[in-house]
Structure 1
Amino acid sequence: MRQTLYGGRRIAVLSILGIASGLIAWVVSAALGLTAVIASSEASHQVIRVLGAAVLVILGARTLLAARRARQAEERAEGTESTAGAEGAQGPDGADGAAGAPRPAAPKAAYQAGLLTCLTNPKVVIFAAALLPQFVSAGKWSGWVGVVYALVWAATSSVWYVFLMAVLRRMRWIYERPAVRRRLEQFSGLVLLGFGLRLAMTTSS
Protein backbone atom coordinates (compact mmCIF):
# COMPACT_ATOMS: atom_id res chain seq x y z
CA MET A 1 0.00 0.00 0.00
CA ARG A 2 2.75 2.43 0.93
CA GLN A 3 4.68 1.74 -2.27
CA THR A 4 1.55 2.48 -4.30
CA LEU A 5 0.78 5.68 -2.42
CA TYR A 6 4.25 7.18 -2.65
CA GLY A 7 6.05 5.35 -5.43
CA GLY A 8 3.40 4.94 -8.08
CA ARG A 9 2.44 1.97 -10.21
CA ARG A 10 5.93 0.92 -11.28
CA ILE A 11 7.33 0.83 -7.75
CA ALA A 12 4.27 -1.02 -6.47
CA VAL A 13 4.55 -3.64 -9.23
CA LEU A 14 8.21 -4.19 -8.41
CA SER A 15 7.30 -4.70 -4.75
CA ILE A 16 4.66 -7.23 -5.80
CA LEU A 17 7.24 -9.05 -7.92
CA GLY A 18 9.53 -9.15 -4.90
CA ILE A 19 6.79 -10.74 -2.79
CA ALA A 20 6.02 -13.25 -5.56
CA SER A 21 9.71 -14.14 -5.82
CA GLY A 22 9.81 -14.76 -2.09
CA LEU A 23 6.80 -17.07 -2.27
CA ILE A 24 8.37 -19.03 -5.10
CA ALA A 25 11.58 -19.32 -3.08
CA TRP A 26 9.64 -20.80 -0.14
CA VAL A 27 7.91 -23.31 -2.40
CA VAL A 28 11.30 -24.39 -3.71
CA SER A 29 12.47 -24.69 -0.10
CA ALA A 30 9.42 -26.81 0.72
CA ALA A 31 10.21 -29.09 -2.20
CA LEU A 32 13.75 -29.50 -0.89
CA GLY A 33 12.53 -30.08 2.66
CA LEU A 34 14.15 -26.92 4.01
CA THR A 35 10.94 -25.34 5.26
CA ALA A 36 10.10 -28.45 7.26
CA VAL A 37 13.51 -28.27 8.91
CA ILE A 38 13.04 -24.59 9.73
CA ALA A 39 9.50 -25.10 11.04
CA SER A 40 10.55 -28.01 13.26
CA SER A 41 13.65 -26.28 14.57
CA GLU A 42 12.96 -23.84 17.40
CA ALA A 43 16.23 -22.00 16.83
CA SER A 44 15.66 -21.59 13.08
CA HIS A 45 12.10 -20.42 13.61
CA GLN A 46 13.24 -17.88 16.17
CA VAL A 47 15.87 -16.53 13.77
CA ILE A 48 13.24 -16.03 11.05
CA ARG A 49 10.90 -14.40 13.57
CA VAL A 50 13.55 -11.99 14.86
CA LEU A 51 14.66 -11.08 11.35
CA GLY A 52 11.05 -10.44 10.31
CA ALA A 53 10.46 -8.26 13.36
CA ALA A 54 13.65 -6.30 12.64
CA VAL A 55 12.63 -5.69 9.03
CA LEU A 56 9.21 -4.37 10.08
CA VAL A 57 10.62 -2.15 12.82
CA ILE A 58 13.22 -0.68 10.46
CA LEU A 59 10.61 -0.01 7.78
CA GLY A 60 8.31 1.56 10.35
CA ALA A 61 11.05 3.80 11.74
CA ARG A 62 12.08 4.91 8.26
CA THR A 63 8.45 5.68 7.42
CA LEU A 64 7.99 7.80 10.55
CA LEU A 65 11.23 9.67 9.80
CA ALA A 66 10.00 10.33 6.27
CA ALA A 67 6.75 11.76 7.68
CA ARG A 68 8.74 14.00 10.02
CA ARG A 69 10.92 15.28 7.18
CA ALA A 70 7.82 15.96 5.09
CA ARG A 71 6.32 18.02 7.92
CA GLN A 72 9.53 19.99 8.34
CA ALA A 73 9.61 20.63 4.59
CA GLU A 74 6.04 21.91 4.72
CA GLU A 75 6.89 24.27 7.57
CA ARG A 76 9.94 25.62 5.71
CA ALA A 77 7.86 26.05 2.55
CA GLU A 78 5.17 27.94 4.45
CA GLY A 79 7.78 30.19 5.99
CA THR A 80 9.31 30.91 2.61
CA GLU A 81 5.93 31.62 1.05
CA SER A 82 4.93 33.99 3.84
CA THR A 83 8.08 36.09 3.32
CA ALA A 84 8.17 35.93 -0.45
CA GLY A 85 5.70 38.80 -0.97
CA ALA A 86 4.97 39.79 -4.51
CA GLU A 87 7.96 37.85 -5.78
CA GLY A 88 6.49 34.62 -4.46
CA ALA A 89 4.55 33.79 -7.59
CA GLN A 90 6.67 30.71 -7.96
CA GLY A 91 6.31 29.86 -4.27
CA PRO A 92 3.45 27.34 -4.58
CA ASP A 93 5.41 25.27 -7.07
CA GLY A 94 8.44 25.28 -4.81
CA ALA A 95 6.28 24.50 -1.80
CA ASP A 96 4.75 21.55 -3.59
CA GLY A 97 8.16 20.21 -4.43
CA ALA A 98 9.46 20.62 -0.90
CA ALA A 99 6.35 19.40 0.88
CA GLY A 100 5.47 16.70 -1.58
CA ALA A 101 5.38 13.02 -0.96
CA PRO A 102 8.40 11.35 0.57
CA ARG A 103 10.93 10.22 -1.99
CA PRO A 104 9.73 6.86 -3.39
CA ALA A 105 11.92 3.82 -3.15
CA ALA A 106 14.31 3.13 -6.01
CA PRO A 107 13.17 0.29 -8.27
CA LYS A 108 15.81 -2.10 -6.92
CA ALA A 109 14.99 -1.15 -3.32
CA ALA A 110 11.26 -1.67 -3.93
CA TYR A 111 11.84 -5.18 -5.25
CA GLN A 112 14.20 -5.99 -2.40
CA ALA A 113 11.71 -4.71 0.19
CA GLY A 114 8.98 -7.01 -1.12
CA LEU A 115 11.37 -9.96 -1.30
CA LEU A 116 12.83 -9.39 2.15
CA THR A 117 9.50 -8.96 3.93
CA CYS A 118 8.30 -12.21 2.37
CA LEU A 119 11.45 -14.20 3.15
CA THR A 120 11.41 -13.06 6.79
CA ASN A 121 7.72 -13.77 7.38
CA PRO A 122 7.51 -16.81 9.70
CA LYS A 123 3.87 -17.42 8.81
CA VAL A 124 4.87 -18.00 5.19
CA VAL A 125 7.43 -20.56 6.35
CA ILE A 126 4.82 -22.44 8.37
CA PHE A 127 2.33 -22.32 5.51
CA ALA A 128 4.83 -23.70 3.01
CA ALA A 129 6.03 -26.41 5.40
CA ALA A 130 2.71 -27.55 6.85
CA LEU A 131 0.05 -26.99 4.21
CA LEU A 132 1.53 -27.41 0.75
CA PRO A 133 3.03 -30.91 1.21
CA GLN A 134 -0.42 -32.27 2.11
CA PHE A 135 -1.49 -31.85 -1.49
CA VAL A 136 1.42 -33.83 -2.89
CA SER A 137 0.68 -37.44 -3.77
CA ALA A 138 2.35 -39.86 -1.31
CA GLY A 139 4.20 -36.91 0.16
CA LYS A 140 6.58 -36.79 -2.79
CA TRP A 141 7.34 -33.62 -4.67
CA SER A 142 7.95 -33.60 -8.38
CA GLY A 143 9.33 -30.83 -10.51
CA TRP A 144 6.09 -29.93 -12.23
CA VAL A 145 4.10 -30.03 -8.96
CA GLY A 146 6.52 -27.58 -7.38
CA VAL A 147 6.30 -25.29 -10.39
CA VAL A 148 2.48 -25.36 -10.37
CA TYR A 149 2.26 -24.64 -6.65
CA ALA A 150 4.82 -21.85 -6.87
CA LEU A 151 3.05 -20.17 -9.78
CA VAL A 152 -0.45 -20.55 -8.28
CA TRP A 153 0.64 -19.19 -4.90
CA ALA A 154 2.55 -16.29 -6.44
CA ALA A 155 -0.26 -15.55 -8.90
CA THR A 156 -3.08 -15.49 -6.36
CA SER A 157 -1.06 -13.26 -4.06
CA SER A 158 -0.10 -10.94 -6.91
CA VAL A 159 -3.69 -10.67 -8.17
CA TRP A 160 -4.80 -9.46 -4.74
CA TYR A 161 -2.00 -6.87 -4.55
CA VAL A 162 -2.66 -5.66 -8.10
CA PHE A 163 -6.34 -5.21 -7.21
CA LEU A 164 -5.38 -3.29 -4.09
CA MET A 165 -2.98 -1.16 -6.11
CA ALA A 166 -5.72 -0.33 -8.65
CA VAL A 167 -8.13 0.72 -5.88
CA LEU A 168 -5.51 2.93 -4.25
CA ARG A 169 -4.56 4.54 -7.56
CA ARG A 170 -8.18 5.59 -8.04
CA MET A 171 -8.10 7.22 -4.60
CA ARG A 172 -4.89 9.17 -5.23
CA TRP A 173 -6.78 12.48 -5.36
CA ILE A 174 -7.26 12.05 -1.61
CA TYR A 175 -3.70 11.29 -0.57
CA GLU A 176 -2.13 13.79 -2.96
CA ARG A 177 -2.91 16.44 -0.34
CA PRO A 178 0.26 17.05 1.73
CA ALA A 179 -1.54 16.87 5.10
CA VAL A 180 -3.29 13.61 4.18
CA ARG A 181 -0.04 12.18 2.85
CA ARG A 182 1.75 12.99 6.08
CA ARG A 183 -0.98 11.43 8.22
CA LEU A 184 -0.96 8.29 6.10
CA GLU A 185 2.81 8.14 6.42
CA GLN A 186 2.58 8.42 10.19
CA PHE A 187 -0.17 5.81 10.36
CA SER A 188 1.66 3.31 8.15
CA GLY A 189 4.85 3.82 10.17
CA LEU A 190 3.04 3.11 13.42
CA VAL A 191 1.36 0.04 11.95
CA LEU A 192 4.70 -1.35 10.75
CA LEU A 193 6.27 -0.68 14.13
CA GLY A 194 3.33 -2.31 15.89
CA PHE A 195 3.50 -5.44 13.75
CA GLY A 196 7.25 -5.62 14.23
CA LEU A 197 7.05 -5.31 18.01
CA ARG A 198 4.18 -7.79 18.20
CA LEU A 199 6.15 -10.29 16.14
CA ALA A 200 9.23 -9.74 18.32
CA MET A 201 7.24 -10.50 21.47
CA THR A 202 5.43 -13.52 20.04
CA THR A 203 6.60 -16.85 21.38
CA SER A 204 6.36 -20.10 19.52
CA SER A 205 3.69 -22.52 20.68
Structure 2
Amino acid sequence: MHHLATLLQIAVVYLFALISPGPNFFMVTQLSLAGRRGLGIASAFGVGTGSTLWAALAMLGFAAVLQHIDWLYQGVRIGGALYLLWFGIKLLRSGMRRDTASQNAAPSAPVEPLPPPDRRAWFRTWRAGFLTCLTNPKSCVFWTSVFAAVFPAHPPTWFYGAALALVAAMSFGWHAGLALLFADQRTQRGYKRLRRPIDAFCGTALIGLAAKLAADR
Protein backbone atom coordinates (compact mmCIF):
# COMPACT_ATOMS: atom_id res chain seq x y z
CA MET A 1 0.00 0.00 0.00
CA HIS A 2 2.83 2.43 0.77
CA HIS A 3 4.12 2.04 -2.81
CA LEU A 4 0.75 3.23 -4.13
CA ALA A 5 0.96 6.21 -1.78
CA THR A 6 4.41 6.99 -3.20
CA LEU A 7 3.03 6.90 -6.75
CA LEU A 8 0.30 9.29 -5.64
CA GLN A 9 2.93 11.66 -4.23
CA ILE A 10 4.83 11.58 -7.52
CA ALA A 11 1.59 12.24 -9.43
CA VAL A 12 0.65 15.24 -7.27
CA VAL A 13 4.10 16.84 -7.51
CA TYR A 14 4.27 16.25 -11.25
CA LEU A 15 0.77 17.68 -11.75
CA PHE A 16 1.87 21.00 -10.27
CA ALA A 17 4.91 20.97 -12.57
CA LEU A 18 2.73 20.25 -15.61
CA ILE A 19 0.23 23.06 -15.03
CA SER A 20 3.03 25.61 -14.63
CA PRO A 21 3.56 27.21 -18.09
CA GLY A 22 7.01 26.60 -19.52
CA PRO A 23 8.74 25.72 -22.79
CA ASN A 24 6.66 22.55 -23.28
CA PHE A 25 3.42 24.50 -22.86
CA PHE A 26 4.32 27.18 -25.39
CA MET A 27 5.70 24.66 -27.87
CA VAL A 28 2.63 22.40 -27.89
CA THR A 29 0.08 25.22 -27.95
CA GLN A 30 1.86 27.08 -30.73
CA LEU A 31 2.22 23.98 -32.91
CA SER A 32 -1.46 23.21 -32.34
CA LEU A 33 -2.57 26.74 -33.18
CA ALA A 34 -0.45 27.00 -36.30
CA GLY A 35 -1.00 23.45 -37.53
CA ARG A 36 -3.51 20.66 -37.15
CA ARG A 37 -4.95 18.68 -34.30
CA GLY A 38 -2.97 15.58 -35.28
CA LEU A 39 0.30 17.47 -35.40
CA GLY A 40 -0.45 18.95 -31.99
CA ILE A 41 -0.93 15.41 -30.68
CA ALA A 42 2.40 14.44 -32.27
CA SER A 43 4.15 17.28 -30.43
CA ALA A 44 2.47 16.18 -27.19
CA PHE A 45 3.75 12.66 -27.79
CA GLY A 46 7.24 14.09 -28.28
CA VAL A 47 7.06 15.95 -24.97
CA GLY A 48 5.76 12.80 -23.29
CA THR A 49 8.67 10.80 -24.71
CA GLY A 50 11.17 13.37 -23.45
CA SER A 51 9.56 13.52 -20.00
CA THR A 52 9.60 9.73 -19.67
CA LEU A 53 13.24 9.59 -20.77
CA TRP A 54 14.25 12.19 -18.15
CA ALA A 55 12.33 10.27 -15.47
CA ALA A 56 14.03 7.02 -16.51
CA LEU A 57 17.48 8.66 -16.38
CA ALA A 58 16.72 10.07 -12.93
CA MET A 59 15.44 6.70 -11.78
CA LEU A 60 18.63 5.00 -12.94
CA GLY A 61 20.81 7.66 -11.35
CA PHE A 62 22.16 9.03 -14.64
CA ALA A 63 20.46 12.41 -14.15
CA ALA A 64 22.20 12.86 -10.80
CA VAL A 65 25.52 11.99 -12.44
CA LEU A 66 24.79 14.50 -15.21
CA GLN A 67 24.44 17.30 -12.66
CA HIS A 68 27.95 16.56 -11.40
CA ILE A 69 29.51 16.58 -14.89
CA ASP A 70 29.62 20.33 -15.21
CA TRP A 71 30.65 20.61 -18.86
CA LEU A 72 27.95 18.16 -19.99
CA TYR A 73 25.23 19.75 -17.88
CA GLN A 74 26.21 23.23 -19.09
CA GLY A 75 26.20 21.94 -22.66
CA VAL A 76 22.63 20.68 -22.29
CA ARG A 77 21.65 23.98 -20.66
CA ILE A 78 23.18 26.16 -23.37
CA GLY A 79 21.89 23.89 -26.13
CA GLY A 80 18.38 24.10 -24.70
CA ALA A 81 18.60 27.89 -24.42
CA LEU A 82 19.75 28.20 -28.04
CA TYR A 83 16.96 25.92 -29.24
CA LEU A 84 14.30 27.94 -27.40
CA LEU A 85 15.89 31.16 -28.68
CA TRP A 86 15.75 29.91 -32.28
CA PHE A 87 12.11 28.88 -32.00
CA GLY A 88 11.19 32.12 -30.19
CA ILE A 89 12.82 34.31 -32.85
CA LYS A 90 11.03 32.31 -35.52
CA LEU A 91 7.67 33.01 -33.87
CA LEU A 92 8.55 36.65 -33.22
CA ARG A 93 9.40 37.18 -36.89
CA SER A 94 6.13 35.49 -37.83
CA GLY A 95 4.26 37.87 -35.52
CA MET A 96 5.93 40.90 -37.08
CA ARG A 97 5.40 39.75 -40.67
CA ARG A 98 2.48 41.37 -42.46
CA ASP A 99 -0.09 38.78 -43.54
CA THR A 100 -1.32 40.35 -46.78
CA ALA A 101 -3.23 37.28 -47.83
CA SER A 102 -5.49 37.34 -44.80
CA GLN A 103 -5.91 41.13 -45.04
CA ASN A 104 -7.09 40.92 -48.65
CA ALA A 105 -9.38 37.97 -48.07
CA ALA A 106 -13.10 38.56 -47.57
CA PRO A 107 -14.19 38.14 -43.95
CA SER A 108 -16.90 35.65 -44.93
CA ALA A 109 -14.73 33.60 -47.26
CA PRO A 110 -14.66 29.93 -46.31
CA VAL A 111 -11.39 28.55 -45.02
CA GLU A 112 -9.90 26.03 -47.41
CA PRO A 113 -8.99 22.70 -45.79
CA LEU A 114 -5.31 22.12 -45.26
CA PRO A 115 -3.66 19.28 -47.18
CA PRO A 116 -2.98 16.15 -45.12
CA PRO A 117 0.44 16.18 -43.43
CA ASP A 118 3.16 13.90 -44.73
CA ARG A 119 5.33 11.62 -42.62
CA ARG A 120 8.08 14.22 -42.38
CA ALA A 121 5.66 16.73 -40.88
CA TRP A 122 4.62 14.23 -38.22
CA PHE A 123 8.25 13.47 -37.40
CA ARG A 124 9.29 17.14 -37.33
CA THR A 125 6.47 17.96 -34.92
CA TRP A 126 7.26 15.01 -32.67
CA ARG A 127 10.93 16.01 -32.75
CA ALA A 128 10.10 19.61 -31.80
CA GLY A 129 8.26 18.46 -28.68
CA PHE A 130 10.91 15.88 -27.83
CA LEU A 131 13.86 18.27 -28.18
CA THR A 132 12.09 21.03 -26.25
CA CYS A 133 11.67 18.68 -23.30
CA LEU A 134 15.00 16.90 -23.61
CA THR A 135 17.12 20.05 -23.86
CA ASN A 136 15.64 21.51 -20.68
CA PRO A 137 18.01 20.56 -17.82
CA LYS A 138 15.36 21.73 -15.36
CA SER A 139 13.67 18.39 -16.05
CA CYS A 140 16.87 16.68 -14.95
CA VAL A 141 16.94 18.63 -11.69
CA PHE A 142 13.21 18.16 -11.12
CA TRP A 143 13.14 14.39 -11.49
CA THR A 144 16.37 13.91 -9.56
CA SER A 145 14.91 15.94 -6.69
CA VAL A 146 11.54 14.18 -6.79
CA PHE A 147 12.98 10.68 -6.82
CA ALA A 148 15.55 11.55 -4.17
CA ALA A 149 12.74 12.78 -1.92
CA VAL A 150 10.02 10.16 -2.40
CA PHE A 151 11.42 7.16 -4.30
CA PRO A 152 11.67 4.10 -1.99
CA ALA A 153 15.10 2.61 -1.34
CA HIS A 154 14.40 -0.93 -2.58
CA PRO A 155 11.13 -0.94 -4.49
CA PRO A 156 9.75 -4.04 -6.26
CA THR A 157 10.40 -4.36 -9.98
CA TRP A 158 6.83 -3.45 -10.91
CA PHE A 159 7.21 -0.07 -9.19
CA TYR A 160 9.76 1.15 -11.75
CA GLY A 161 7.44 0.37 -14.63
CA ALA A 162 4.45 1.86 -12.82
CA ALA A 163 6.33 5.11 -12.10
CA LEU A 164 7.42 5.48 -15.73
CA ALA A 165 3.94 4.62 -17.00
CA LEU A 166 2.50 7.25 -14.66
CA VAL A 167 4.90 9.93 -15.92
CA ALA A 168 4.26 9.01 -19.56
CA ALA A 169 0.47 8.99 -19.15
CA MET A 170 0.35 12.28 -17.26
CA SER A 171 2.73 14.09 -19.61
CA PHE A 172 1.07 12.89 -22.80
CA GLY A 173 -2.44 13.30 -21.40
CA TRP A 174 -1.87 16.88 -20.26
CA HIS A 175 -0.11 18.06 -23.40
CA ALA A 176 -2.51 16.18 -25.70
CA GLY A 177 -5.36 17.95 -23.89
CA LEU A 178 -3.66 21.28 -24.58
CA ALA A 179 -3.24 20.30 -28.23
CA LEU A 180 -6.92 19.39 -28.58
CA LEU A 181 -7.99 22.59 -26.83
CA PHE A 182 -5.90 24.90 -28.99
CA ALA A 183 -6.69 22.98 -32.20
CA ASP A 184 -10.43 23.46 -31.69
CA GLN A 185 -12.14 25.22 -34.60
CA ARG A 186 -13.35 28.13 -32.46
CA THR A 187 -9.87 28.58 -31.05
CA GLN A 188 -8.45 28.38 -34.57
CA ARG A 189 -10.82 31.10 -35.79
CA GLY A 190 -9.77 33.35 -32.92
CA TYR A 191 -6.13 32.58 -33.65
CA LYS A 192 -6.52 33.53 -37.31
CA ARG A 193 -7.81 36.95 -36.23
CA LEU A 194 -5.07 37.47 -33.64
CA ARG A 195 -2.26 35.44 -35.18
CA ARG A 196 0.35 38.20 -35.20
CA PRO A 197 0.07 39.30 -31.53
CA ILE A 198 -0.24 35.67 -30.36
CA ASP A 199 2.87 34.62 -32.30
CA ALA A 200 4.72 37.67 -31.01
CA PHE A 201 3.70 36.91 -27.42
CA CYS A 202 4.68 33.23 -27.63
CA GLY A 203 7.95 34.13 -29.33
CA THR A 204 8.77 36.70 -26.65
CA ALA A 205 7.90 34.20 -23.92
CA LEU A 206 10.19 31.55 -25.41
CA ILE A 207 13.02 34.07 -25.80
CA GLY A 208 12.54 35.06 -22.15
CA LEU A 209 12.62 31.40 -21.10
CA ALA A 210 15.78 30.92 -23.16
CA ALA A 211 17.44 33.89 -21.45
CA LYS A 212 16.43 32.56 -18.03
CA LEU A 213 17.74 29.11 -18.85
CA ALA A 214 21.05 30.56 -20.09
CA ALA A 215 21.42 32.74 -16.99
CA ASP A 216 20.61 30.03 -14.45
CA ARG A 217 23.50 28.11 -12.96
TM-score class, shorter: 0.7 to 0.9
For each residue in 1:157-196, what CA deviation from the matched residue of structure 2 results, as whole angstroms up to 9, or x when unmatched? 222223323332242221122xx11111111111111111
Q: Give the Cα separation in 2 of the matches to 1:46 and 1:52.
A: 10
| Farther-moved stretch of structure 1 (149-158 vs 53-62) | 149-158
Report % sequence identity: 29
**Structure 1 or 2: larger helix share?**
1
- Indicate yes or no: 2:163 matched with 1:149: yes
Q: Which residue of 2 aligns with 1:129?
A: 144
Q: Residue 186 of structure 1 corresponds to which residue in structure 2? A: 200
Q: Report the TM-score when normalising by structure 2.
A: 0.72
Equivalent residue for 2:178, pick from 164, 181, 191: 164
Equivalent position of 1:87 in the other structure: none
AA aligned opposite 1:198? K
Q: Are the counterparts in 2 of residues 13 and 162 from structure 1 also a CA contact under 8 Å?
A: yes
Unaligned 5+ runs, structure 2: 1-28, 115-119
CA deviations over 1:116-158 (Å, ceiling 9, x no partner): 01111111101222212443332x4665322211221122222
Shift of 1:199: 1.3
Question: What 5-or-longer segments of structure 1 have no aligned partner?
Answer: 82-90
In structure 1, the partner of 2:44 is: 16
TM-score normalised over the length of structure 1: 0.75
* Structure showing greater Rg: 1
Of 117, 124, 128, 2:132 maps to 117
What is the CA–CA distance in structure 2 between the aligned matches of 1:3 and 1:129, rounded to whole Å?
29
Q: Distance in 2 between matches of 1:147 and 1:50?
A: 31
> Alignment length, in residue pairs?
180
What is the 5 A alignment of 1:1-205? Answer: 1-69=29-97, 71=98, 73-74=99-100, 92=106, 106-138=121-153, 140=154, 143-168=157-182, 169=184, 170-177=186-193, 180-202=194-216, 204=217
CA distance in 2: counterparts of 1:176 and 1:126, whole angstroms: 38
